[in-house]
Amino acid sequence: MARITISGVSMDPLVQSAELASASLVSEEGSQSDYLLVQATHVPTAGERQQMAELGVVVHEYVPESTYLCGYRSSDLEALRALPFVAWADVYLTGFKIAPSLRSSRLRPAMATLAHPLESTEPGTHTVDVVLHDDIDAAVPQGTGHTLKITLVWTDPPGTALQNDLDLIVRADGREHHGNMGTEGGFDRVNNVEQVSWEGVPPGDAEVVVRAHRITQFAQPYALAWRIS
């Protein structure tokens, strides 16, 4: 098939299948991550995407070549791997998540970086910039039936996967919603646009929090807009 390159780490999951197995990088099930990499034999049709969706696979973005980064909350990988148009599928490996700026300058084989990601980091202290902003209070009028819609957008540094990861959190009356996640819990680790659309938001002050989950390089400015209807 084709090589997958993420954060400067490249591997061909089919050509290097034996190496992946030897390095214990073939997952029997998907509970260790909420994200998958799925390599297809061709661009999936609408019907084939529907088959993936019926298994709980949500396609988030295209990762060249012929590969898709997907959300997945189930643990069963066999049904997905059995689809005739899926050439390879596995969890999103930790080694792909470490930015090149945080890895050691010495050259290491890609398989070693994926198998032992922490050993690829440069010894010593890493300093990154984090922009901290005061939390925002949005005043929701008295009454019922109001909808609070808040959108967070930032320009992410170049990279196949998300480099700087911000979280949008909205709290009101003891309840909490997360950007792109609603009340499901967890956070979006894929997109640089997050939105909370809270129908029936309680009246009073709603606290809006923008929090840095991961900043790999530089200070990260962002834009935040909200509307109450």
Could you read off the pLDDT of 107-144 as tens digits, one per residue?
677 777 787 776 655 555 544 444 444 556 667 777 77
Q: Which 8-state DSSP code applies to residue 120?
A: G
Output the domain CATH number for residue 214: 2.60.120.380
- pTM summary value: 0.53
Task: Copy the structure tokens of residue 22.
Answer: 């030897």
**Sign of CA pseudo-dihedral 61, 113, 23, 189:** negative
Tens of pLDDT along the chain (229 residues) come to 578 887 778 888 888 889 888 888 888 888 888 889 999 999 889 899 999 999 999 888 787 778 888 888 888 899 999 999 999 999 988 778 766 666 666 667 777 778 777 665 555 554 444 444 455 666 777 777 788 888 888 887 766 678 888 899 888 888 899 998 877 778 888 888 888 888 888 888 888 888 888 877 666 788 888 888 8
Distances (CA, A) of 137 to 13, 70, 157: 48, 34, 29
Task: Copy the structure tokens of residue 141.
Answer: 């009028």
Could you read off the pLDDT of 147-165 as tens digits, one per residue?
888 888 888 776 667 888 8
Shared-domain flag, residues 11 and 116: yes
**Whole domain around residue 108: which residue ranges?**
4-120
Residues 6+ apart with CB under 8 A from 212: 130, 131, 132, 164, 165, 166, 167, 220
Within a domain: 131: no
Within a domain: 201: yes
Placement of tokens 């990601």 in the chain: 117
Within a domain: 169: yes
Type and span of the H or E element at 68: strand 67-72
Question: Cβ(63)–Cβ(6) under 8 Å?
Answer: yes
